[in-house]
A and B are shown apart, each in its own frame.
Chain A
Amino acid sequence: MRDALIALIALLLLGGTFFALVAAIGVVRMPDIYMRLSASSKASTLGASFILSAVALFFGTTAVTGKVLAIIAFTLLTAPVAAHMLGRAAYFCGEPLWAKSVRDELGGAGEWCKQHERPEELSSTVPDVNADDATKGDRSA
């Protein structure tokens, strides 16, 4: 029983290290920022989850298991959000796709979004009305 548990812990550690190393190699070797983002976010989430569950099995107490579950849940929730925000920001920065990319789903939409969706305009929809009122007031006065 004890040996089986230790073997399972070692296997989980090896698997997690493998996935983390794959993420690192992907970040260095992929030709394009979007592929690097894909490799890093997916493989690193899996690697960290494996290693953390190995830690939970090793200690086996409620406190450690709770912390580990919190970290895994937090990583699973936030890694896709962070990767999406980074990819979006990189696309609007004009980061080039790989030269051999087959399809750009956004196409010219990136340019359109650049012109039409500015954070200043989004955040100032309500103040815009007030500004209009102010100008009207100026006109009436």
Chain B
Amino acid sequence: MSLTAFVTWVILPLLGLGLLITFIRVVRGPSLPDRVVALDLMATFIIAISAVYSIASNEPSYLDAAVVLAMITFLGTVAFAYYLHRRSNA
């Protein structure tokens, strides 16, 4: 089995399964911080998927999306945490 086939038929489905499992928590999470944690993990999954997809398609430019996503995710999580903190103090 070539590496491309292995990535396409084993790694990408497993990562997609993890994304779906995490989405259960986004739907079910009882409170807003739960959903923020799950969304953070989903963003990490998308970083991993775009990195793996650059192997599957032999095209390294998909890594640029991963770089940008890693930075945006941190900003988004910090903004959410700040918003939650402000809301709890108000």
Q: Which residues of A contact B (CB under 8 A)?
A: 6, 9-10, 13-14, 16-17, 20-21, 23-25, 27-28, 33, 36-37, 40-41, 44-45, 47-48, 51-52, 54-55, 58-59, 61, 63-64, 67-68, 70-71, 74-75, 78, 81-82, 85-86, 88-90, 92-95, 114, 118-120
Contacts and interface: CB of A to CB of B under 8 A. Distances in A.
Contact of B3 (A48, A58, A93): A58
Interface residues of B, number: 51
B33 A6 contact: no
Give chain B's interface secondary structure class.
helix
A17, A25, A78, A94 pick with most chain B CB within 10 angstroms: A17
B11 A17 contact: yes
Interface of B: 3, 6-7, 10-11, 14-15, 17-19, 21-22, 24-25, 31-34, 36-38, 40-41, 44-45, 47-48, 51-52, 54-55, 60, 63-64, 66-67, 70-71, 73-74, 77-78, 80-82, 84-89
B44 A33 contact: no
A36 B25 CA distance: 10
Contacts of B6: 10, 13
B33 A93 contact: yes
Contacts of B80: 86, 89
B3 A10 contact: yes
Give chain A's interface secondary structure class.
helix
A29 B11 CA distance: 22
Contacts of B86: 119
B41 A86 contact: no
Smallest CB-CB A-B distances: 9 pairs: A85-B81, A89-B84, A90-B33, A24-B18, A78-B74, A82-B77, A24-B21, A44-B44, A89-B81
